[in-house]
Chain A
Amino acid sequence: MADQEKKPVDTAAIAGMLKKKEPEMKRILNYCVHCSICAESCFLYMAHNGDPQYMPSFKVINSLGKLYKKKGNVDREFLEGIKGLVWGNCALCHRCYCPIGIDIPRMIDFTRSICRSEGVYPEQDGGESWL
């Protein structure tokens, strides 16, 4: 992990991962109508007194959405920033409810894969809390 932190982010690899799933992910990101109805289906949103940062759509728009906007051209600080959203603020319980049928956990899962490919993930034995 310490070595990974020093390494620059492989933006080409991230761009490749984004490109591979672009037909689905970008399409679904553009399809979200920003209605926020997914909010109450997230137990973490409910447990944090309605803090929008725990809203499923917020997590996806501000992680994967930004990755696509930047076309994968991000630095380690950015990935560390979204780590909290896709790990800390999400238990990946697959209970998010989208009225128009967006499979939100699938997108969070994909974002985690991108972060993990660059060595960005929570340290389970380092006292770093997931939730």
Chain B
Amino acid sequence: MNEIYGLVRGPLALAAIVVFVAGLIFQARRFFSLTSEKPIVLPPASLLGKIEPRSGPSLDAINNSMLGVHPFLTVITTIFHVCLIMLPIFLLAHNVLLYESFGFSLFVFPELVANIITVIVILGGVFFFLRRIFVYRVRAITTLYDYIILLIVAAPFLTGYMATRQWFDYDTMLILHILSGEVMLVAIPFTKLKHGLLFFLYRYLMRYEHSLGSGTRVWSYSKSVK
């Protein structure tokens, strides 16, 4: 058991982190190589002069966004994603390992807060699982791959919680927790989970109807297609 623990805690963990970081860099570089800056050409000033400038934040824009159409789902998914990202970074146990390995650590959540956040993530996973089963329109486009992705995300939190509570055999649960975390890290850059990174690039940089940012980039085939 100690050998397996040593393997998943050492070389496998390092490999997963390297693949995760390198994968994200690759995806970002690929995005920038497949798109290019294209300045937005505004209509002539004479025409622009006749358009009333927006006086403040548009209520219509909010009403038509995800927040306006699905307020409950927006709150759930936001909390789920924030907790999902923050917990592994600011967990005490992870920071102890970080300190042991690299000699530094970050701010850590108190144990009670960490437990609450873990439960929130697990419940979020259950919510999305049930939504895929019981909401007709979601079920209509759901594939086995979507359930696997959900399992990959939920597994480290579920096994981590079970290990902390010392449910079942602690050593086995701890190894399963580390392994499932490594699987998730490796999966992020190469599966749908990459939306964690690409969300910002697509929504803020790409030009389309619902751009949140400058929207100055467009797909560029001349560079990518011979």
| Chains A and B bind each other | yes
A24 to B211, CA, bound (A): 17
A101 to B205, CA, bound (A): 10
A52 to B206, CA, bound (A): 27
Binding site of B, secondary structure by majority: helix, strand, loop or mixed? helix
Q: Does A78 contact B (CB under 8 A)?
A: no
Q: Which residues of B contact A31 (CB under 8 A)?
A: 192, 194-195, 198
Partner-binding segment picked from A7-15, A35-43, A111-119: A35-43
Binding site of A, secondary structure by majority: helix, strand, loop or mixed? loop
- Which residue of chain A has its CB nearest to the CB of B198? A31
- Which residue of chain A has its CB nearest to the CB of B202? A101
Contact B34 A95 (CB under 8 A): no
Contact A36 B192 (CB under 8 A): no
A83 to B219, CA, bound (A): 26
Q: Which residues of B contact A23 (CB under 8 A)?
A: 34, 219, 221, 224-225
A27 to B201, CA, bound (A): 14
A24 to B224, CA, bound (A): 10
A98 to B198, CA, bound (A): 13
Contact A102 B224 (CB under 8 A): no
Contact B198 A24 (CB under 8 A): no
Contact A101 B66 (CB under 8 A): no
- Mark B115-148 against chain A: 1 for CB-CB distance below 8 A, else 0: 0000000000000000000011110111100100
Contact B146 A101 (CB under 8 A): no
Q: Which residues of A contact B146 (CB under 8 A)?
A: 33-34
Say whether, besides A34-B142, A37-B73, A97 and B66 are in contact (CB < 8 Å). yes
Tell me which of A52, A55, A94, A100 contacts B202 (CB under 8 A).
A100
Contact A52 B192 (CB under 8 A): no
Q: Does B2 contact A (CB under 8 A)?
A: no
Q: Which residues of B contact A102 (CB under 8 A)?
A: 202
Q: Does A5 contact B (CB under 8 A)?
A: no
- Mark A79-120 against chain B: 1 for CB-CB distance below 8 A, else 0: 000000000000000111111111101100000000000000
Listed A/B pairs (20) with beta-carbon separation below 8 Å: A20-B221, A23-B224, A31-B192, A31-B195, A34-B138, A36-B135, A36-B138, A37-B73, A40-B69, A40-B70, A41-B69, A52-B136, A57-B141, A58-B137, A100-B195, A100-B199, A100-B202, A100-B203, A101-B201, A101-B202
Q: Pick the 3 closest A-B CB pairs, nearest first.
A: A101-B202, A52-B140, A101-B203
